A and B are shown apart, each in its own frame.
Chain A
Amino acid sequence: MAPAEAKGAENMKLHKDFRVIVYVIAMLLALIVIHPTYDDGLSSNLQYGLDLEGGTSLQLKLEGVIAGVEADPAQIIEEEYSDAFGEIEIIEASETEVIFRTPEPLNKDEIDAIGYGSVHVRDNEVTLTINKEYVIQAYLSRYLECEVVYLGSNMYEIRSAIGESELSDVLAEVGGSIATDMRGKPVFRDAVTKETQKTTEAILSEKLNIWGLKDVPITPVEDNILMVDLAGVDLDTAMEIVATPGKFEIRIQTTENETEHVTWGDHITAVDIPKMRDGAWGVGFTVDGVGANAIRDAAVESGAVDDPEAHELIMLLDDEVIYSAPLASELAESLQELYDKNQDVPSYALVATTGAGDVGKETVEQLYIHLRAGALPVEVDVIGSWQVPAALGAQFKEQTILAGILALLMVALTIFLRYHQKNILIPMVATSVSEVFMILGFAAAIGWQLDLPAIAGIIAVIGTGIDHLVIITDEVLYEGRMPSKKVYLSRIARAFAIIFAAATTTIIAMSPLLFMGFGALKGFAITTIVGVLIGVLIARPVYGRVIRELLE
């Protein structure tokens, strides 16, 4: 920057050159967005990746499958109802209605319990009004033990990590199969939909917000991976908050060793701040009407209202028991009363107590986050992680700055050995430094975090940048001195033809990193590409102009 301005004062023509103007504006913009300030040490608007700040980076795979399914709903109905009531006989079947005969006359409630459609019974003839997709979805959901969502055109999203053979076996039971595409390959991918990925991202982000981490960068990669960068958090804590679905369930003890499902966490409407009560940590929450009715029915049917001690109410987080205790006796009485009158239970408050001490506190905090933000739609699997302690990150930062400075000095030395002219050396080094400054400005402007690969990219740009300046210099000074204006112009044009060609190949070669699933290398690719563009379009043209002034 210095030579351009110094020269500009003496020479009006240089001052008016639009390339120089663009360059000066770009440098000023970079200065404004980087906004370096000096309080107790240098600070700026630049953001650093957590490999330099310390923290944990997690790559999460969202466990799910998208598959094409071909199955006949009537066959599913036949299998399922025969299992329950003995061989049934299908009388008539269409995509919207199935009529069948059961061996014994049944009542409506018994048939309703199986699900699949709305029921109309006359003696032992049953008319089931169905929806094909719903039947398949409900069937898969029951046997794969997970949520299944219909996506349209016979495609289903199965929200669990199931294998192809597992799905195919479940379908074979009812004469169905995995659909095949035009080339005869089964339509079965390890993937989730964009919506599921977005929902997961949003819930994760909310959980982290409640945890106290604002604006955590979550980057979706491909269609089933999320990368989460958690500054200042260690790996085990990160996994507890991020890598667990946070599925909350209330169950009730039926016999000594058995329990029964009552309700899920999605019927929880309000959650209180965790508090210490009677020496133990606990979190209070409110259950909505549906959940409250489920608890009422379960409490009465299991016998918990009569003998609370033998039928504890159990709360689980991701299938692990976090709380188990008898119903309060007043609650038991009021539930019995409401049940007898067949009255809806208004939403009511419960407390989950997690115990005393640090363990209790930690559990209650996690429970609080999961209750408030809700469960993730799918399970997540940590497929890669990186923990960098803050002290190490600080060392990395120091070392990369040192590497950058030494690299620049070595480059300057090499250039000096070749040209022995400070009129070439100073503009070259200044151009190179200003390119780095503009790249940093760009990073600050778009809020890009500088991580180690990005810094490697910047230093690589110094290397190619100097190369291009050498090409310009040697092309212009072909006979060892500055040629006439006409020759200069044609030489500079040729130099830029070479530089543009070289820059194009570098950008093109890096481009796969931008689109493919190497999240960690995106910073490297972006800085290299942006750096090459800034160099070729803004900084190097000015260098060509400046050396003409200096060497004439």
Chain B
Amino acid sequence: MDNIKNLVSRFDTYIRTHKPEQLVIPPLIVLVIALIVLGGMYVTTGSPVRLGFQFEGGTIIELDTPDSYDDLKVAFMDYPLIGVSESGNRKMLKFGPMDSDKEESLVAKVNSEYEYATPEIKQADPIYARSLQKQAIKAILISFCLMAVVVFLIFRTFVPSVAVVLSAFSDIMIASAFIAITGIELSLGTIAALLMLIGYSVDSDILLTTRLLKRRGNLDDKVTSAMTTGLTMTSTTLAAILMMYLVSAYSYLIVPSFPQISIISDITIVLLFGLAADLMNTWMLNTGILKWHLQKQRGRRT
């Protein structure tokens, strides 16, 4: 409790002692950096984030085998092996696209020679993967626009709605930039997480906006109370997601035979980044814009 209270009061003091413009600047700088990172990645690699096999095509094989990297390289020399990575006992072999005969022989080889190694095999066709890319972008755009429409319908005032939509946009961009920097590959899981983030990141913004617009009282006090609630919300969610991430990505450190559950670790890592960004965007960017907006309104009224 002390930790949370301490954190809240420190943050609170910061917000009370800074002007709205000052609050808005750091998150905007981070947003700009995120956009530069994504833009830079796009220019250099043709895609803002690294694409996983589902969006690029290829084959992933995971084996619970004691064979070394060199052993595996020799064993699979007839196939377009791109790389091998390791987590606990499990080795992950990544292959580039190959024709269907080759793929069939690879699958047959793995299922006969490595049957002991509980092989997990994932394949994606490159052509279909590319159409999935377009779909993914479309899904994110549609989802974001629908969210923006709902926000405008809820608040029916321009500046507060824009503030909410802007901070949600920033959450997604910053989360994507983190994905790009850390080299996480875009998968169906990360797409799901980005969509989740679109819906989720506005929760605390809606709380804040409702509290500030609809409740009477001192503006700073209202921010403080909203923040106490909002930070509790975000910390419970972060707690849940952090546990899921640790179990899905790192349980092999405790029990080496435990596999990674990539779809869950993908979803959770993106949500972790996104929620961290959301802390800043809600309580600095969105709060700053709202405070500025309300102070201006009050100034006009008197």
Contacts and interface: CB of A to CB of B under 8 A. Distances in A.
Interface of A: 59, 61, 234-236, 239, 381-389, 391-392, 395-396, 399-400, 402-404, 406-411, 413-415, 417-418, 420, 452-453, 455-456, 459-460, 462-464, 466-467, 470-471, 474-475, 478, 494, 497-498, 501-502, 504-513, 516-518, 520-521, 524-525, 528
Contact of B196 (A414, A462, A498, A528): A528
Nearest to A51: B263
A384 B125 contact: yes
B297 interface: no
For A415, A420, A455, A471, the residue with the greatest tally of chain B CB atoms inside 10 Å of its CB is A471
Given A403-B247, A518-B188, A418 B104 contact: no
Interface in B1-37: 1, 3-4
The 6 A-B pairs at the shortest CB distance, nearest first, are namely A509-B199, A506-B199, A383-B125, A403-B247, A383-B128, A410-B239
B236 A453 contact: no
Contact of B240 (A386, A400, A410, A528): A410
Contacts of B135: 516-518
Contacts of B232: 414-415, 418, 470, 474
Contacts of A512: 138-139, 142-143, 146, 195
Interface stretch (B75-83, B177-185, B200-208): B200-208
B207 A471 contact: yes
B138 to A, nearest CB: 7
B199 A407 contact: no
A404 B261 CA distance: 13
A396 B261 contact: yes
Given A510-B196, A518-B191, A402 B124 contact: no
Interface in B249-266: 251, 257-259, 261, 263-264
A494 B154 CA distance: 13
Contacts, number: 231
Contact of A508 (B150, B210, B271): B150
Contact of A509 (B123, B198, B271): B198
Interface of B: 1, 3-4, 54, 100, 104, 107-108, 111, 118-125, 127-128, 132, 135-136, 138-139, 142-144, 146-147, 150-151, 154, 188-189, 191-192, 195-196, 198-200, 202-203, 206-207, 210, 214, 225, 228-229, 232-233, 235-237, 239-244, 247-248, 251, 257-259, 261, 263-264, 267-268, 271
Given A417-B4, A505-B203, A513 B192 contact: yes
Contact of A403 (B108, B122, B127, B248): B248
B123 A504 contact: no
A235 B126 CA distance: 19
A525 B143 CA distance: 12
A510 B143 CA distance: 7
A510 B198 CA distance: 9
Contact of B123 (A382, A389, A452, A498): A382
Contacts of A409: 243
Contact of A400 (B108, B111, B235, B261): B261
A506 B248 contact: no
Contact of B263 (A389, A453, A466): A453
Contacts of A385: 121-123
A399 B250 CA distance: 11
A474 B241 contact: no
A524 B192 contact: yes
A504 B198 CA distance: 12
